[in-house]
Amino acid sequence: MKKPYTIFAWITFLIILYSLVNNYLIDPEAKAFLSQKIGLKRDLNLPVWLNVMYVHVAFACITMASGLLNFSNRLFEKSRKFHRTNGYIYFVSVLLVVLTSGYMAPYATGGKISSMGFNALNLIWLFVTITALVQIKRKRIVQHRNWMIRSYAFCFTNMLIHLITTLFHEGFGVDYAASYTISIYSSIVLLLIVPSFMIKARKSS
């Protein structure tokens, strides 16, 4: 189990690094992303939106990092206190990511249907994370870990949305806004199904 975790850790680290560099150094005004937002129904207050996005990205990266650390068996065995404290950091970070995403959802590419998709993603992620917290409070360690696997999968929502959007837009020639909307709902399905397969695979191994 050590080698797969190490590989996954490096992949996660590179995703975090890319997110930070891209959003804070390469394109801090999100010009590339905002250029795709056509026909918004609401006026976008750019300074406020950008500040919310900066908070969103920062805590999304913290969520990915803290969640990754808590899946480390070595760290868990070395310090249960760190695992518990880091778990609360993860929970608070998820909450802040959800709140900031909720602010940005009405401005989502694709209009109201995309906004509804993001709100659904946020509610599901919050529910799954709260369930994981409830399980550990009840001393149900296996159930807690399983629900954390489900929760952690949502940390990769943004990456998954952009991959699927690129597939439909660049691969199949679908309009960008439509591709983006498709990717949101496809991500919901995948983020619910894939972790279940991973949990079953862990049980059978």
Q: Give the residue, 55 or 43, on which the prediction is more confident.
A: 55
Query: Looking at residue 39, what is its pLDDT?
Result: 65
How many residues does the structure list for the chain? Answer: 205
Work out the average pLDDT over 131-152.
97
Q: Which of the pair, 42 or 143, is modelled with greater confidence?
A: 143
Percent of the chain with pLDDT over 70: 98
**Stretch 10-16: mean pLDDT:** 96
Paired tokens of 135: 């399980």
- Sign of the CA dihedral running 44, 48, 51, 56: negative
Kindly calculate the radius of gyration of the chain based on its CA atoms and give it in whole angstroms.
18
Q: What are phi and psi of 155, to 5 degrees?
A: -65, -20
Cβ contact 102:95 at 8 Å: no
Q: How far is CA 1 from the centre of its chain?
A: 24
Contacts of 183 (CB under 8 A, 6+ apart): 160, 161, 162, 163, 164, 165, 168
What is the chain's mean pLDDT, rounded? 94
Residue 98's pLDDT band (boundaries 50, 70, 90)? very high
Q: From 100, 97, 101, 83, select the one nearest 148 (Cα to Cα).
A: 83
- What confidence score (pLDDT) does residue 160 get? 97
The contacts of residue 134 (CB under 8 Å, 6+ apart) are none
For 197, other C-beta atoms within 10 Å of its C-beta total 9
Convert the pLDDT of each residue in 70-97 to its tens digit: 999 999 999 999 999 999 999 999 999 9
Mean pLDDT of 100-126: 95
Condensed to tens digits (0 to 9), the pLDDT of residues 143-193 reads 999 999 999 999 999 999 999 999 999 999 999 999 999 999 999 999 999
Q: How far is CA 56 from CA 40, 64, 80, 93, 199, in A?
A: 21, 12, 28, 9, 28
- Tokens 């049980």: give the residue: 203
70 and 76 Cβ atoms separated by less than 8 Å? yes
**pLDDT for 13 beyond 70:** yes
Q: 168 and 174 in contact (C-beta within 8 Å)?
A: yes
